[in-house]
Amino acid sequence: MDKKYFIAANMVQFYFSMGDAVLKSPIYALIAQKLAGNIADYFDINVLINYGQMCLHPSKESFTKFAISLYNECITAINKGVCDSQLLSFIISALREDLEEIESGELDENTVRGFIPPPDFNKRGEVLAMLPHVNAFTNMYARINHFADKDLELEVIHDEQAHFDEILKEGEKMLKTNELSDILIESCHPYVNYIFGERFSFKFAKSDVSSGIQIADVIAGFCTRYFNQIQVNCLDNISFHKEIVDLLKDLSNKPNSQGLNIVASQASIKRFYSL
């Protein structure tokens, strides 16, 4: 997972949403994906940092700091020609309106909270902003639910999480109630099934006693290190990396999204597989 892209995707989903009718359209999904990728790839990292701070401490002040940094980066991106100028012009216009409403007092902290994802809380009651676990967990469940034979009983084993286990347990329970299915089902992805039954069971296990977790850790560890290296143009052994990436590519079936799942911009994913 590219953390910059993950933050940018949350920003696009919660701040740039343009109404339910648009959000449910495949066109918006493509625009949102491209916009999140452009922000992650081309915008100054302070935009993402400021959005993260707003998620942790939502206020008119934190929103103003975020909005001004985003406004400036949109102007810079237009001047450099690295993003769709028409789309960025729309964002700039929206930012101007929001900043004016902040000054006039029309935009309050409750409105600001609508610009950020709902927070999770750890066992000490501290805010965990944009925790990726439940998001990834939900999408994984939906894909397994789609591809697995309907009569199979499924057991999902997650490595032990001392800090997030209760959050994941509650998330899993919520999914199986199907209370969120009407919202999740609006996903434009064809290879998911958000109607969950009771066939899933969920448990935590120590990685040293679960071969499945060990295999997943090895693959995830390699991919993370490799991805970070290509992001900074620092590859020590390209031929070795290429052999492993080619194996991972062979295991993937792109049309139905089986195989390796990389949460990153399309440009980064293309680069991951192209060396």
Q: What is the pTM of this model?
A: 0.79
Confidence class for position 20, pLDDT limits 50, 70, 90: very low
Residue 13 lies in a domain: yes
Arithmetic mean of pLDDT, 138-160 = 84
Residue 176 lies in a domain: yes
Residues 189, 224, single domain; the answer is no
Residues 240, 171, single domain; the answer is no
Give the per-residue pLDDT at 263: 82
**Rounded-to-integer distance, Cα 102 and Cα 96, Å:** 10
pLDDT tens digits for 162-210? 777 888 888 888 888 877 666 666 555 667 788 887 888 888 898 888 8
**3-state SS track over 62-113:** HHHHHHHHHHHHHHHHHHHCCCCHHHHHHHHHHHHHHHHHHHHCCCCHHHHH
Give the per-residue pLDDT at 170: 83
Count CB-CB contacts under 10 A for residue 202. 18
Residues 200, 216, single domain; the answer is no
Residues 95, 140, single domain; the answer is no
Residue 123 lies in a domain: no
Residues 193, 216, single domain; the answer is no
Arithmetic mean of pLDDT, 122-150 = 79
**Rounded-to-integer distance, Cα 35 and Cα 11, Å:** 10
Does 47 score more than 90 pLDDT? yes
Taking phi first (over 0 means left), then psi (-120 to 50 degrees means alpha), and beta for anything else, what does residue 234 get?
beta
Instruction: Quote the number of domains for the chain.
Output: 3
Residues 32, 107, single domain; the answer is yes
Where are any strands of DSSP class E within the chain?
120-121, 127-128, 154-159, 200-205
Residue 126 lies in a domain: no
**Rounded-to-integer distance, Cα 69 and Cα 234, Å:** 29
Residue 101 lies in a domain: yes
Residues 186, 243, single domain; the answer is no
Arithmetic mean of pLDDT, 95-107 = 86
Q: Which structural domain, as residue segments, surrounds residue 164?
A: 131-205
Average of per-residue pLDDT values in the chain = 81
